[in-house]
């Protein structure tokens, strides 16, 4: 089992009905366990291990199972036979696609986060995994797109944000991509201002060219690593990025 000390941080995710929900902190994961949204066999992403594990493998998340009742008393307490006519089927519970909390199917809003229920997954506009691929591919292609137009690499994450504005995971991915692109743009402009000012001295211009090449290498490396993480279903954050948009 993983150590409960791994609970620090806000990078916990869980899988529900084929969708990945999060990120949240460990306190929220425990709350979801308490209200039944996360069961023992639910897949949870443990940021300390950097891997998907079943919820029951995380130490301290579930209390120990109480000892089984005496078989004789359990047999005596159980009905002799099932009812001859089944009761009216109770409506199945629904789970909030934003926070994962279990709700009454007749409720119009989630009792936990207050967001509107009943909309289908397609109302989110774009699948989160597709959004991750588009955003991270835009970082990979940034050297080419920047050479065409300074805002060319911002088009992809802008479209993703517009289509998935109701999905917290999609918005978070678009924001971090915008922050990475803006950071690259600020550094690139600064480097070339220094290069132009010192063009007569040659050396500053050479250093500007080397720095530009370094930015291109950064885009390729983090773009590829981000796409691999998306393929593996793992969250990924770009390093050395200024958070212009929070």
Lowest mean pLDDT among 18-32, 66-80, 135-149, 175-189: 66-80
How far apart CA 35 and CA 46 sit, in angstroms, is: 20
Regarding whether 24 and 129 lie in a shared domain, the answer is: no
Is 242 domain-assigned?
A: no
Regarding whether 64 and 139 lie in a shared domain, the answer is: no
Count Cα atoms within 13 angstroms, Cβ side, for 108: 0
Regarding whether 145 and 175 lie in a shared domain, the answer is: yes
pLDDT the model gives residue 30: 87
Regarding whether 114 and 128 lie in a shared domain, the answer is: no
Regarding whether 145 and 33 lie in a shared domain, the answer is: no
* Mean pLDDT value across residues 212-234: 89
pTM for the model = 0.50
Q: Which are the contacts of 196, defined by CB distance < 8 A and separation ≥ 6?
A: 205
Number of domains the chain contains: 2
Q: Which are the contacts of 88, defined by CB distance < 8 A and separation ≥ 6?
A: none
Is 244 domain-assigned?
A: no
Regarding whether 137 and 201 lie in a shared domain, the answer is: yes
Quote the domain boundaries for residue 200.
124-231
Token reading at 135: 């955003």
Task: Write down which residue in 118, 133, 160 finishes a domain.
Answer: 118
How far apart CA 190 and CA 194 sit, in angstroms, is: 6
Whether 157 and 135 have beta carbons less than 8 Å apart is answered as yes
Regarding whether 162 and 79 lie in a shared domain, the answer is: no
Regarding whether 1 and 70 lie in a shared domain, the answer is: yes
Is 104 domain-assigned?
A: yes
Q: Is a pLDDT exceeding 70 seen at residue 218?
A: yes
pLDDT tens, residue by residue, 222-232? 999 999 988 88
pLDDT the model gives residue 5: 46
Regarding whether 109 and 58 lie in a shared domain, the answer is: yes
Task: Write down which residue in 68, 92, 118 finishes a domain.
Answer: 118
Regarding whether 107 and 1 lie in a shared domain, the answer is: yes
Task: Write down which residue in 76, 100, 118 finishes a domain.
Answer: 118
The per-residue pLDDT of the chain, averaged, comes to 76
How far apart CA 235 and CA 13 sit, in angstroms, is: 9
């Amino acid at each position: 089992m993983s150590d409960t000390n791994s609970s620090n941080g806000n990078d916990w995710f869980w899988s529900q009905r084929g969708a990945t929900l999060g990120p949240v902190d460990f306190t929220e994961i425990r709350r979801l366990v308490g209200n039944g949204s996360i069961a023992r066999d639910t897949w949870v992403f443990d940021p300390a291990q950097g891997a998907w594990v079943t919820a029951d493998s995380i130490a301290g998340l579930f209390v120990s199972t109480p000892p089984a009742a005496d078989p004789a008393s359990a047999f005596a307490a159980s009905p002799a036979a099932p009812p001859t006519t089944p009761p009216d089927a109770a409506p199945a519970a629904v789970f909030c696609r934003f926070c994962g909390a279990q709700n009454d199917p007749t409720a119009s809003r989630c009792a936990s986060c207050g967001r509107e229920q009943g909309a289908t997954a397609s109302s989110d506009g774009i699948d989160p995994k597709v959004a991750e691929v588009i955003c991270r591919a835009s970082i990979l292609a940034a050297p080419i797109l920047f050479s065409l137009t300074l805002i060319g690499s911002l088009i992809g994450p802008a479209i993703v944000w517009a289509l998935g504005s109701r999905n917290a995971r999609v918005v978070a991915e678009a924001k971090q991509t915008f922050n990475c692109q803006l950071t690259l743009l600020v550094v690139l402009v600064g480097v070339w201002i220094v290069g132009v000012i010192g063009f007569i001295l040659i050396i500053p211009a050479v250093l500007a060219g080397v720095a530009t090449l370094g930015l291109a290498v950064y885009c390729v490396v983090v773009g590829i690593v981000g796409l691999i993480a998306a393929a593996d279903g793992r969250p990924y954050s770009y390093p050395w990025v200024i958070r212009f948009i929070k």
